[in-house]
Structure 1
Amino acid sequence: MVRGRVRPGWEAVREAFGHGQADDPGAAQLAVHHRGRPVVDLWTEDTAAVRPTGPDSVTVLMSVTKGMTAVCVHLLAERGLVDLEAPVSRHWPEFAAAGKAETTVADLLAHRAGLPAFTDDPAGVGLPALLDDVGRVRALASMRPVWKPGTAYLYHALTYGHLLGEVVRRVTGTSIGAFFARDVAGPLRLDLWMGLPRSAEHRFVPQTAVRPTPGAEQIDAAVGRLGLAAGDRLAAALRASARELASVVEAFGTRRGRAHEFPAAGGIGDARSLSRLYAALIGEVDGVRLLSAAAVDRARAPQTDHLPPPGPLRRFDGPDRSRFGLGFELPRPGEPLLGEGSFGHAGAGGRLAMAHPESGLAVGYVCTAMAWEPSAGPDPRWTPWTAAVREAAAGVRRA
């Protein structure tokens, strides 16, 4: 049953949301802002959940968190404190080691840095070592890139957050989670965190896996199908990254893991706050605007369309590959989402936060059932309501 409310003219979104959730075993929330105003606030409940789910529930956002991290970096760039085209070592001198002296902040944002895992050991870094931020940052600073930064791109599932989080820490003197809380979530009154406070723990609803998390054998088999040579650093990095991500997902099932800052995947929040955040990127929300129009255009300008995947993975390159701006995902061909020019970030399992400046749309969608892999294209749960949202916005313009 779909609960919540919509403004007049947006009624079709309620029906479309219900259609998309019809076969979903978990709970979900959908929020939409249009030109700074909330127009859709809907949710479904999971009566079988360990904790009751509803409009005020919060859950893990997975890689939607990367968009939150990107917002922090762009905010510092707007203030003149970070130059996106400058070497990372300007802010973090130790990072210049092992061939990384010319790696730019933009390379970090666009997954071009050549550091997709925390180690060259295919076993990856496990728990509790993944909770040691100082150790992970030192390892990244001393590491030799798997490919020459800026010449290729490959998704940095967890290292993205530590790399950019350290830039933020060096510039501000505080952790990225604290900076986000003070400079982003605070002014906008968002229920979004990198590191869930104990005071909000009672609102947390754990995610449930529709499919088992891949184990070591499944990860090795998947990487093996890529045809990489035994001992290849890229193969080791892919195995390590997958194992590290599985360990972090395990950590989210504990209070310690939820309280920790994982700025690539560990954000926790609700759909209302995601929609409000993205609305404040493209316009004013209750008098608050985070980024200028010029900064938004820079953030959503394609950064990887001209680049291949690294080394042997080039033979798997194709028109359906992921596309990135500076810290944000961009729609792939055939993925209209909110329209051409949309930017935002999806999260494993089906979460989504996105904005479309031209139409003034911003959306947040969260779910508790891990039922979707980013490499598979748009989540089928999104398709009905993204179409309805676009049509409703077009109808408002015509009216």
Structure 2
Amino acid sequence: MTREIKVQGTTSAGYEAVRDAFTALLAAEKPDHAAQLSAYVKGQRVVDLWVGPDTGPGTLFGVYSSTKGAAYLVVALLVQDGVLELDREVAHYWPEFAAEGKGEITLRELLSHRAGIVGADSGFTPEEVADDRAVAARLAGQRPYWRPGTAFGYHALAIGALAGEVVLRATGRTLGELYEERVRAPLGLDFYLGLPEELEPRFRSVLPMLPTPAEQAALDAQPPQPGTLNAIAFNRNGAHPTDLEAFPNSRLVRAKGPASAGGVGSARGLAGMYAAAVTGLDGREPLLKPDTVAEFGQIHSNGFDLVARAHKSFGVGFQNVAEAWYPFLGAGSIGHKGVGGSQAFADPRSGLAYGYTRRRFPFPGGSVPEDEPLVRAIHTAAIRTTAVTR
């Protein structure tokens, strides 16, 4: 049974079908469902929609691993500046990282999820998970879980801390500080690594997932496996396993903004960041040169992911969203999904930058039913309208 919902916001001429798709897809959701959808084409906003109680265009949600896009953008800027070199050993910047046979791991291998440092043997406390410096200090002495370079696996809660420590050692500034100074503040983006106290009233807590009785029974039938790579990567292996549903609801997490998954933002903020990076935003020059975008979007790890136990595809840090999910997007599209259902990316070939957020945690986490139809609807409209205006 569907329900009447009221989608608010605007779409540019040629994008009316996106509103229809957004409305139809969300009609079957729970009455308290809240979501935002935003898109830019060649730096101009063409879709700006939202739905749900207590939700507007400036409402802020926890975006989980969509946060990683901000971390990789900072690294890309530093590579572009010549401050970081992808083929330099991580230990060149961070000598302590060389412990336990990690001395030859390059920054490129690390960012491509090939280093094998997905977590710590004894897990992390909630305070450590929220603090990238604490995580990095623990991981410096951790032995890799596979021989670096021989395979890849998603460094879910570790990669932001690892990249951030390299950035700090090379620049003397934290990744969050550089993101704020070079990306967020100059562009006025509603996407934060470290949410200021005064913006807390705009944050909406993540709502728990609502599995069907059959889904819950299947979940209950699977006992925890704390020794697996997946459990280690998502910090479910120690005395203080991380509750992903509740993760962004912690003020400590929101305040510190760990770069793997602690970001808070809106769909406008996510899409705006990718537009600013790849095409330029509202007439500004893009933050990244085409060669930088191409290098970071080039596939580096593709195939069986040892952590996810599924097919995955990564460039330098960024997920290769065309290879992984949307083959109709242009080659070299860069972005990232979050386990809470958020998603953002840029397709350099069509000039599309996309952002999506939702409040309720999906079952079982990760991709949501809206993903493919919404991305396809916006991409189709972008191609058609661009062809008309040529």
Superposition TM-score, scaled by structure 2 size: 0.88
Distance change >3 Å, CA 334–CA 191, structure 1 → 2: closer
Residue of structure 2 in register with 1:360 after alignment: 351
State the match for 1:370 in structure 2: 361
Show the 5 A alignment for 1:210-229.
Answer: 210-211=209-210, 221=223, 223=225
Q: Which residue of 2 aligns with 1:165?
A: 164
Q: Tell whether the 8 Å contact from 1:348 to 1:372 is kept in structure 2 after alignment.
A: no
CA offset at residue 338 of structure 1? Answer: 3.8
Q: Would the alpha carbon gap of residues 236 and 23 (structure 1) be closer, same or farther in structure 2, given more than 3 Å must change?
A: closer
Separation in 1, partners of 2:50, 2:230: 41
Instruction: Provide runs of 4+ in structure 1 moved above 6 Å.
Output: 217-220, 242-245
Asked whether the equivalents of residues 72 and 317 of structure 2 are also in contact (C-alpha less than 8 Å), the reply is: yes
**Matches for 1:56-135 after TM superposition, within 5 Å:** 56-117=58-119, 119-121=120-122, 124-135=123-134
In structure 1, the residue matched to 2:174 is 175
Aligned to 1:54: 56
Q: Does 1:350 align with 2:341?
A: yes
1:394 Cα offset (Å): 2.0
Identity of aligned residues (%): 36
1-side partners of 2:111 and 2:43: how far apart? 26
1:350–1:372 CA contact under 8 A, matched in 2: no
Aligned counterparts of 2:345 and 2:78: Cα–Cα separation in 1: 21
Report how many residues are paired.
372
More off after superposition, 6-15 vs 245-254:
245-254
Give the alignment partner of residue 284 of structure 1, picking from 280, 284, 287: 280
Greater CA deviation, 130-139 or 29-38? 130-139
- Matches of 1:133 and 1:248 in 2, distance apart? 17
1:339–1:372 CA distance, 2 compared to 1 (3 A): farther
Distance in 2 (alpha carbons) for counterparts of 1:116 and 1:9: 44
Q: How far apart are 1:241 and its partner, in Å?
A: 4.9
Contact 2:63–2:342 (8 Å) recurs in 1: yes
Contact 1:157 1:245 in 2 (8 A): no
Q: SS of 1:128's equivalent?
A: helix
Q: Which amino acid aligns with 1:237?
A: I
> Are the structure 2 counterparts of residues 145 and 334 from structure 1 closer, same or farther at C-alpha, using a change threshold of 3 Å?
closer
Which string of whole-angstrom CA distances, capped at 9 and with x for unpartnered residues, describes residues 73-94 of structure 1? 0010000000011111111111
Cα distance in 1, alignment partners of residues 118 and 235 from structure 2: 9
Partners of 1:379 and 1:134 in 2: CA distance: 32
Give, in whole Å, the separation in 2 of the partners of 1:113 and 1:12: 43
Q: What is the alpha-carbon distance in structure 2 between the residues aligned to residue 162 and residue 238 of structure 1?
A: 13
Residues 185-220 of structure 1: CA distance to partner in whole angstroms, max 9, x if unpaired? 1221111111110121110011112148x9xx9698
Unaligned runs of 5+ in 1: 47-51, 225-231
Cα drift, residue 131 of structure 1? 3.8
- Superposed displacement of residue 129, structure 1: 3.6
Q: Which residue of 1 aligns with 2:3?
A: none
Matches within 5 A, 1:1-399: 1-25=6-30, 26-46=33-53, 52-117=54-119, 119-121=120-122, 124-211=123-210, 221=223, 223=225, 234=229, 237=232, 240-241=235-236, 246-247=242-243, 250-285=246-281, 286-305=283-302, 308-310=304-306, 321-331=311-321, 332=323, 335-336=326-327, 338-373=329-364, 378-399=367-388
